Amino acid sequence: MESQNSSQAAILTVQDLHKTYRDGEAFAEVLKGISFSVDPGEFVAIQGPSGAGKSTLLNLLGALDKPDSGKIVIDGLELTAQIKHKTVDVFRRDKIGFIFQNHYLMQEFTVVENVMLPLRAQGVVYAEAKEKAAKILKRIGLDHRMNHFPSQISGGESQRVAVARAVVKNPPLILADEPTGNLDSDNRQRFIDVLNTLQAEDKLTIIVVTHESELAMAASRRLMMRDGKIV
């Protein structure tokens, strides 16, 4: 996918982002002017105390929610408040790979079918999608689990399948929110190894929100958020 923003190398630019949650009379200013940019192939960890606004920021970057003001440009596309629903759907489909704390694998589909889903959504034909999904599962050592259902594999394996599903379409940006939050130390290390390997080999651009120092240390850059700001 070619960036339309040739004057700038960054894959992501965030400028003066503000977000306030309102609930009737009450309101909470959660993002108080966030600015940063990320270059292609960077692996960035966002750390900070609970309530700092990390998930809020990630949700805005993934167009799951909208900022009150400020600018987000990802791979040449600006996520404005006026953006059409359909454009947002296509943006999420083509530009973002998500990894959440829970794997959210679809129980009625096998492992390989789960990994195929993002490609099928893009219109890739079944055989080609299956080949690509199988290839990435093999790279992360899960080819022997391909035809199992999510209920038949472990939590650690499920979370590594979620990585495969996020990267299979080779999106310009991967967003992960506490992806190791539910893993024991052994599976946490395996998850980090898988992410590291794919990131290095495929030059993936990753932003991960994490409390875990091991995962943060795997990143090439660390940003600290506190009270709605990057400090």
Ligand X SMILES: Nc1ncnc2c1ncn2[C@@H]1O[C@H](COP(=O)(O)OP(=O)(O)OP(=O)(O)O)[C@@H](O)[C@H]1O
Given the rule CB under 6 A, which residues bind ligand X?
21, 23, 28, 30, 48, 50-56
Q: Which of residues 53 and 156 has its CB atom nearest to ligand X in the complex?
A: 53
**Dihedral sign computed on CA atoms, order 50, 165, 13, 42:** positive
Q: Which does 30 bind (CB under 5 to 8 A by kind): ligand X, Mg ion, none?
A: ligand X
Residues 48, 31: Cα–Cα separation, whole Å: 13
Q: Considering the complex, what minimum distance in angstroms separates the CB of residue 29 from ligand X?
A: 9
Q: Considering the complex, what minimum distance in angstroms separates the CB of residue 53 from Mg ion?
A: 8
Q: Considering the complex, what minimum distance in angstroms separates the CB of residue 52 from ligand X?
A: 4
Q: Which does 158 bind (CB under 5 to 8 A by kind): Mg ion, ligand X, none?
A: none
Strand order in the sheet with 96-99: 96-99, 173-177, 206-209, 43-47, 221-226, 229-230
By three-state DSSP, how is residue 155 classified?
Answer: helix
Q: Which does 56 bind (CB under 5 to 8 A by kind): ligand X, Mg ion, none?
A: ligand X
Q: Which does 21 bind (CB under 5 to 8 A by kind): ligand X, Mg ion, none?
A: ligand X
Reference 162, options 100, 95, 93, 90; nearest CA is: 100
Q: Which of residues 56 and 114 has its CB atom nearest to ligand X in the complex?
A: 56
Q: Taking every pair of C-alpha atoms in the chain, what is the biggest distance, in angstroms?
A: 55
Q: Considering the complex, what minimum distance in angstroms separates the CB of residue 97 from ligand X?
A: 19
Q: Which of residues 53 and 150 has its CB atom nearest to Mg ion in the complex?
A: 53
Looking at the DSSP bridge assignments, the partners of residue 43 are 206
Q: What angle do CA 51, 55, 59 make, to 5 degrees?
A: 145
Residues with Cβ within 8 Å of 76's Cβ and at least 6 positions away in sequence, in order, are: 2, 3, 4, 5
CB 178 within 8 A of CB 209: yes
Q: Which of 55, 114, 158, 210 binds Mg ion (CB under 5 A)?
A: 55
Q: Which of residues 114 and 210 has its CB atom nearest to Mg ion in the complex?
A: 210
Q: Considering the complex, what minimum distance in angstroms separates the CB of residue 36 from ligand X?
A: 16
Binding site for Mg ion (CB under 5 A): 55
